Structure 1
Amino acid sequence: MKIDAKGMHYKELNKIIRSAANNGEQEFDLLNVNGQRYIGDGIDKKIKINIYGTPGNDLAMFMNGPTIIVHANGQDGIGNTMNAGEVIVHGDAGDVIGYGMRGGKIYIKGDVGYRVGIHMKSYKKQVPVIIAGGTAGDFYGEYMAGGIMILLNLNKKNPYVGDYVGTGMHGGVIYIRGKVEEHQLGKEVSVLELDQNDEKELRKHLKDYCKHFDFNIEEIMSEKFIKLLPLSHRPYGNLYAY
């Protein structure tokens, strides 16, 4: 189903998508998207949404199953509390990607902004994944409680990650391709070498990522990664009375 979103209010656009999905429509091509918010939010059907243009904030919030492909840049709040599905962005994305995300996958071809993965969590088989091919701003992985984050720096920028990496982190794992200076790290994380299980885990996720963006996985894996893990599952426990 093709929808020309030029000049369309976000409420009208989302109403059309929801109604068509409830009536059995499986695939949508959204044309001339320009800042419309909340696309795909809360939808629990395995539909596919192609977005041509730049969607607004909170794309795929509470999403539970769809695949969304953005053929341009994304904005802030992609995958807010997302539960399942995929978001693939063929450009850059903004701040607070994957806030409270508890499942599904977000693949960004380019750079991401600040506080990516904040409060990300996992539960049993629900393990969210965020992969960015470029750089990231400050507070990458802040208060992360679970899941997997991977930063690739394929565009070779320097610095490629901001300060306070992993601040408040108490679960999950962060893989970064390249070196991070000690002063860039939050006090709650440790830096470790990869083992065979890490290599296997990276390849599993990067295989899908590379397929979407036509990258060479062997070239990516040829450079050294580091692993960040939390030092404690309760880093601020001493601040509480219990």
Structure 2
Amino acid sequence: MTTRQQKTLVAGRTYYKQFNEEIRALVREGVTDFVITECNGQRYLATALEGDLTFDIHGVPGQDLAAFMRGPKIRVRNNAQDGVGNTMDGGRIVIEGIAGDVIGYAMRGGEIFIRGDVGYRVGIHMKAYLDHQPKIVVGGKAGDFLGEYMAGGIILLLGMFSDKPDAPVAGRSLGTGMHGGVIYVRGEVPDHQLGPGLQAQPVDSEDLKVIGALVEDYAKELKLDSKEIMSENFVKIRPFSHRPYGNLYVPC
């Protein structure tokens, strides 16, 4: 059984490169649980780290939080900037505020749970392989191009915990170029918000099992009411083709 060691670090004005080098040195020394206070935009936190590590981050981490991460669990007790979970392989990230653009870019495993709104191109190029099924749950609303070129995994968009009451649940061109995976949306999605050739369809009983399990996990992490979340209907958006732009190319 691994003996867990905790360390509290004050980020403050520490340069991000120096701060990450300190974290890596502590991991090599056997520290497993980090509490980071006064986080002030330091980039690349937990990038490429592996194993049973935890990070409790107070403040706002900078870009590419947990890029290439494989295994650790991260809780951000505020907002997060762009690029969270870039090419992430595994682990879990919980963000108690809002997050920026390009969340989960090319994500290949693990979960990202966000309580509030997100920016543009969230879930772009998400992938799945064998039993690795990346998942993103957004409690608020999303900007343009959600799930663009998505090749696998699950995005669940709730539209509930948003600072933008008058905005649509998602921006323009939702799912543009999708050729794998599924996007679930709580409530309705107007057809004009969808990418070319896509349409929102009612979920079936198997979809509801998947959504229900994911909501249960999400609600537990963020102390929300799973029954309230599940009280609305859901729709799903799936790709219409595995080669959505195949007709643009002339065969040789």
TM-score bracket for this pair, using the shorter chain length: over 0.9
Structure-to-structure mapping, 1:218-237, within 5 angstroms? 218-237=227-246
Amino acid at match of 1:127: Q
Q: Report the counterpart of residue 122 of structure 1 in structure 2.
A: 128
Q: Report the secondary structure of 1:230's partner residue.
A: coil
CA contact (8 A) 2:39 2:59 kept: yes
Amino acid in structure 2 at the alignment position of 1:232: S
Equivalent position SS for 2:236: strand
Q: Which residue of 2 aligns with 1:94?
A: 100
For 1:30 and 1:216, locate their aligned partners in 2 and report how far apart those are by CA, in whole Å.
28
CA drift at 1:188: 3.8
Separation in 1 of the partners of 2:198 and 2:179?
A: 8
Contact 2:43 2:64 in 1 (8 A): yes
Residue 178 (1) aligns with residue 184 (2) = no
Task: Answer yes or no: is 1:69 the counterpart of 2:86.
Answer: no
Q: Does 1:104 align with 2:104?
A: no
Residues 43-65 of structure 1, C-alpha deviation per residue, up to 9 Å, x if partnerless?
A: 01210011110000000000000
Please tell me the root mean square deviation across aligned C-alpha atoms, in Å: 1.0
Residue type at the aligned position of 1:113 = G
Instruction: Spell out, residue by residue over 1:135-167, the C-alpha distance to the aligned partner (whole angstroms, 9 max, x if none).
Output: 100001111000000010113623121110000
- Alignment: residue pair count: 242
Distance 2:198 2:150 in 1: 11
Amino acid in structure 2 at the alignment position of 1:193? P
Instruction: State percent identity of aligned pairs.
Output: 50
In the alignment, is residue 217 of structure 1 matched against residue 226 of structure 2? yes
Are the equivalent residues in 2 in contact too, given 1:21–1:45 (CA < 8 A)? no
State how far apart, in whole Å, the 1-side matches of 2:108 and 2:250 are: 28
* Secondary structure, aligned partner of 1:86: strand
Structure 2 residue 38 is the aligned partner of structure 1 residue 36: no
**What stretches of structure 1 move > 3 A for 4+ residues in a row?**
none
SS at match of 1:173: strand
1:198 aligns with 2:212: no
Query: What is the letter of the counterpart of residue 227 of structure 1?
Result: K
Deviation, 1:241, is 4.2
5+ long unaligned stretches in structure 1: none
Normalised TM-score (structure 1): 0.98
Q: Structure 2: where are the runs of 5+ without partners?
A: 1-6
- For the residue of structure 2 that corresponds to 1:106, the secondary structure is strand
| 1:18 correspondence with 2:7 | no
| Partner residue of 2:145 out of 123, 135, 139 | 139
Q: For 1:182 and 1:90, how far apart are their aligned partners in 2?
A: 30
User: Once the 2 structures are TM-superposed, how far is the Cα of residue 212 of structure 1 from its aligned partner?
Assistant: 1.1
For 1:237 and 1:106, locate their aligned partners in 2 and report how far apart those are by CA, in whole Å: 31
Q: CA deviation at 1:189?
A: 2.2
